[in-house]
């Protein structure tokens, strides 16, 4: 069995990562979506291990001490992180892992695991990104401006990613990510040993 690989899908807020990932899972098998751990309380209907791995603050801090996260951060008093355990188990079982994380988190993961494949999702234009952020209707203009400013910083890091996918056409974006996953499994440096072993 071929071991799975980990793919980071990062990009600015409002770029449409969620929709892309949903469609990717509908159109491809053998993927594992990494579920984050958090110290925040479950909301009604949220299930442990599905929406989040809900941990006490004490346990979360213990996991940090044991270096059990690929990345972690604090937002408005709650801790969030990507546990290594489930990612590694999925890869061992032959599944490709999809990490839906923020650009800052992606940097942390890459420092620990330089072999993860990093895909940056870019908006077709700033106007479109602004339109999408405003279109959510859940945030005031000041928040939207803040998020856009942050997005401009995020996108400067796209240069250092492995791949850059533009979310102009949803189907094309998903097709490109599919191609990236397939192509990364054809990398000679990884396949060489298994091929020559059989020869």
Residues interacting with a copy of itself, by CB under 8 A?
A: 119-120, 122-126, 152, 155, 158-166, 175-176, 178-180, 182-184, 186-189, 191-192, 195-196, 198-199
As measured in angstroms, the least distance from the Cβ of 38 to a copy of itself is 30
Sheet with 69-75: list strands edge to edge: 53-54, 37-38, 78-83, 69-75
Report the sign of the C-alpha dihedral through residues 144, 74, 50, 20, in that order.
positive
Cβ distance to a copy of itself smaller for residue 87 or 174 = 174
Cβ distance to a copy of itself smaller for residue 149 or 179 = 179
Q: Yes or no: say if 9 and 98 are a contact pair by the CB < 8 Å rule.
A: yes
As measured in angstroms, the least distance from the Cβ of 149 to a copy of itself is 13
Cβ distance to a copy of itself smaller for residue 66 or 159 = 159
As measured in angstroms, the least distance from the Cβ of 190 to a copy of itself is 8
Q: CB-based burial of residue 137 (10 Å sphere; 0-12 exposed, 13-18 middle, 19+ buried)?
A: exposed
């Amino acid at each position: 069995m071929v071991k799975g690989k980990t793919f980071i899908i990062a990009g600015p807020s409002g770029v449409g990562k969620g929709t892309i990932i949903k469609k990717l899972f509908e159109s491809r098998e053998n993927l594992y979506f990494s579920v984050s751990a958090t110290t925040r309380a479950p909301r009604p209907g949220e299930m442990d291990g599905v929406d989040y791995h809900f941990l006490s603050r004490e346990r979360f801090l213990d996991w940090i001490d044991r270096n059990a996260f690929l990345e972690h951060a604090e937002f408005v008093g709650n801790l969030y992180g990507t546990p290594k355990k489930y990612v590694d188990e999925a890869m061992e079982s032959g599944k490709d892992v999809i990490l839906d994380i923020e650009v800052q988190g992606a940097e942390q993961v890459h420092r620990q695991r330089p072999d993860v494949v990093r895909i940056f999702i870019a908006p077709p234009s700033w106007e479109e990104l602004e339109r999408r952020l405003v279109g959510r209707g859940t945030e005031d203009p000041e928040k939207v401006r803040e998020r856009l400013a942050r997005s401009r910083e995020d996108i400067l890091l796209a240069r250092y990613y492995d791949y850059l996918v533009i979310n102009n056409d949803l189907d094309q974006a998903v097709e490109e990510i599919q191609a990236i996953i397939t192509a990364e499994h054809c990398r000679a440096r990884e396949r060489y040993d298994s091929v020559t072993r059989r020869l």
